[in-house]
């Protein structure tokens, strides 16, 4: 069974994807029609709906489909998550900051802190 820890190439791939989505948001679509630009121009609700569809497909794949289907559906979900974040103008750095704050804290302790405040 493969471990979860990624190689450096995933960082490059995700960064390239985020850069491409930013470019599409800024109107740089080369000479091809852009699905990303079309989705972003429809606004956050449409982006959220597409992300929800991909999330359900990923859940179904994890429950009962092949490893390759899970990887493919997860790739779709990550793409649509990035587009949905961009549609709201929320940076991946702000997501990273939220994750970093939780590092080293057990999820059970974090939940207790939340419910006590």
Point out which residues bind ligand PRT (CB under 6 A).
Answer: 17, 20, 24, 32, 34-37, 50, 76, 79
Q: How far is the CB of 90 from ligand PRT (least distance, A)?
A: 18
Q: CB neighbours of 36 closer than 8 A, spacing ≥ 6?
A: 20, 21, 24, 25, 83
Q: How far is the CB of 17 from ligand PRT (least distance, A)?
A: 6
CA dihedral 33, 27, 48, 45 (to 10 degrees): -110
Q: 59 vs 109, which CB is nearer to ligand PRT?
A: 59
Q: 24 vs 86, which CB is nearer to ligand PRT?
A: 24
């Amino acid at each position: 069974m493969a471990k979860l820890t990624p190689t450096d190439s995933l960082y490059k791939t995700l960064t390239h994807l985020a850069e491409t989505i930013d470019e599409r948001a800024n109107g740089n679509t080369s000479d091809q029609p852009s699905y990303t630009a079309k989705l972003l121009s429809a606004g956050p609700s449409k982006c959220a709906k597409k992300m929800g569809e991909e999330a359900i497909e990923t859940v179904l794949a994890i429950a009962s489909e092949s490893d390759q289907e899970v990887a493919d559906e997860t790739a779709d979900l990550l793409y649509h998550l990035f587009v949905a974040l961009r549609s709201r103008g929320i940076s991946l750095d702000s997501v990273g900051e939220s994750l970093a704050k939780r590092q080293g804290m057990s999820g059970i302790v974090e939940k207790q802190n939340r419910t006590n405040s």
